[in-house]
Amino acid sequence: MKGPSGQQGGNGAGIAGWFDGAAHRATAGLARHTSRRGFLGRLGAILVGAAAVPLLPVSRAFGAEEEGAEAPPPEPAADGIVEYGDPQSCEYWRYCALGGSLCSCCGGTMNSCPPGAEPSPITWVGTCRNPVDDKEYLISYNDCCGKAYCPRCSCHRTEGAKPSYFPSKSPNVLWCFGVESNAYHCTMAAVIGAAPEEAEATAQES
Amino acid sequence: MGSRLWPCTALALLATGALGEAASESPDAAVARYDYLLHCAGCHLADGSGAPPEVPPLRSMARLAAMPDGRDYLIRVPEVAQAPLRNARLANLLNWALQEFSRDASPAGFRPLSAKEVGDARRRILKDPLRARAEILKAAR
């Protein structure tokens, strides 16, 4: 992934590999630790979100033709988290540590590459706070490769917690390796887990 | 491969995983899993399978840990030594990963890595990890 903000991440070939056996094993554990309080909070958020959505100012640039397309409904993600917002906008919460171009406005989604692009196996992982339940989630920024850069939706944010990367493996390197073509097209943003409450108690030093 | 098929598969698998694994996990394991996903999984993938040839899988960890200098090696690999985690958190992560990803069960009598051991070894970052690894394997033969 490019950009000062990313974390390491990338991946996509992975995404299949990432989500398949493996990932779900790793993320399942995190999901288990999501508290009951969290669940109820989220349930509440569905309702609140449903009410709030029509009022949200959202980008109409890409979905205007379809009636009702202007407000994405609260979307339960892979692990059941609830959120709302416009995934085509750089302001969207999951992009807090992303540097690159948004696949969701380049013909793909937060979990899938645009047609003709291929996910790289290596990902950049960061954490972002979901405003709906105020919890920290792990976000995997997966690059889609093999097509020219999608210049439409550049987004560079640095507020997410991210592990520091090492000079030898700078986040500025393109993470499009392990795929057929190294061209960088755009970046996805998949939720791969939630932060367990214990994680903050023994926080990392930097 | 059609990338558009993936999300559905992914969602189905994630849901299955989350519901299927109801067993409880200790807080230490939960933190280790979180630290792993945040600091390591970007390269080694969530299941530790890596992205060869650039990134090795982690299934040899227990085997290496049983060899002379192998315990230290696991800590001195640059990506591990420099992870932004305190010694105790890093030891907890490595001990978890040793069990989670190793193909062979941990060798009998395996002692978990301690925070002190991690603190000592991580200061000696390997300049050439691939070579160090080859030497460890050779010495163990």
With beta carbons under 8 A apart, name residues in chain A contacting B34: 30, 138, 193, 195-196, 199
Residue A4 has pLDDT above 90, yes or no: no
Q: Rounded mean pLDDT of A66-84? A: 55
What residues contact A158, with CB distance under 8 A and at least 6 apart?
A4, A5, A97, A99
- Across the interface, whether the CB atoms of A198 and B31 are under 8 A apart is answered yes
The pLDDT score that the predictor gives to residue A198 is 78
Residue A15 has pLDDT above 70, yes or no: no
- Across the interface, whether the CB atoms of B20 and A28 are under 8 A apart is answered yes
Share of chain B above pLDDT 70, in %: 79
Long-range contacts of B5-12 (CB under 8 A, 24+ apart): B6/A15, B6/A16, B6/A19, B6/A111, B6/A112, B6/A119, B7/A109, B7/A111, B7/A112, B9/A16, B9/A19, B9/A20, B10/A15, B10/A16, B10/A19, B10/A20, B10/A23, B10/A78, B10/A111, B10/A190, B11/A78
Residue A75 distance to chain B (closest CA, Å): 13
Domain around B72: 2-17+26-140
- Across the interface, whether the CB atoms of B46 and A25 are under 8 A apart is answered yes
Residue with tokens 């060869």: B52
Catalytic residue list contains A124: yes
Q: Are strands A184-194 and A154-156 parallel, antiparallel or unpaired?
A: unpaired
Cα–Cα distance for residue pair B85/A91, rounded to 1 Å: 29
Mean pLDDT of chain B: 82
The CATH number covering residue B8 comes to 1.10.760.10
Q: Are strands A118-130 and A99-101 parallel, antiparallel or unpaired?
A: unpaired
Mean pLDDT of chain A: 65
**From its phi and psi, is residue A10 left (phi > 0), alpha (psi between -120 and 50) or beta?**
left
- Across the interface, whether the CB atoms of A125 and B30 are under 8 A apart is answered no
Is the distance from CB of A175 to CB of A143 less than 8 angstroms?
A: yes
Number of domains in chain B: 1
Q: Find the CB nearest A123 among B29, B42, B84.
A: B42
- Give the amino acid at A117: A
Residue A200 distance to chain B (closest CA, Å): 9
**Residue tagged active-site, from A18, A86, A133, A143:** A143
> What is the phi/psi pair of residue B20, to 5°?
-70, -30
- pTM here is 0.72
- Across the interface, whether the CB atoms of A125 and B39 are under 8 A apart is answered yes
Residue A87 has pLDDT above 80, yes or no: yes
Residue with tokens 């999300």: B7
Residue with tokens 């958190």: B89
Chain B residue closest in CA terms to A190: B7
Catalytic residue list contains A86: no
Residue B72 distance to chain A (closest CA, Å): 20
Tell me B105's DSSP state. P
* Of B89, B65, B70, B77, nearest in space to B122 by CA: B77
Residue A203: count other Cβ atoms within 10 Å of its Cβ: 11
Residue A121, SS3 per DSSP: strand
Residue A17 has pLDDT above 60, yes or no: no
Q: Rounded mean pLDDT of B113-138? A: 95
The pLDDT score that the predictor gives to residue B131 is 95
Chain B residue closest in CA terms to A121: B51
Q: Mutating which of B1, B3, B6 best tests the A interface, going by the most A Cβ atoms within 10 A?
A: B3
Cα–Cα distance for residue pair A139/A127, rounded to 1 Å: 6
* pLDDT tens digits along A90-148: 999 999 988 899 999 999 999 999 999 999 888 888 899 999 988 899 999 989 999 99
ipTM of the complex: 0.71
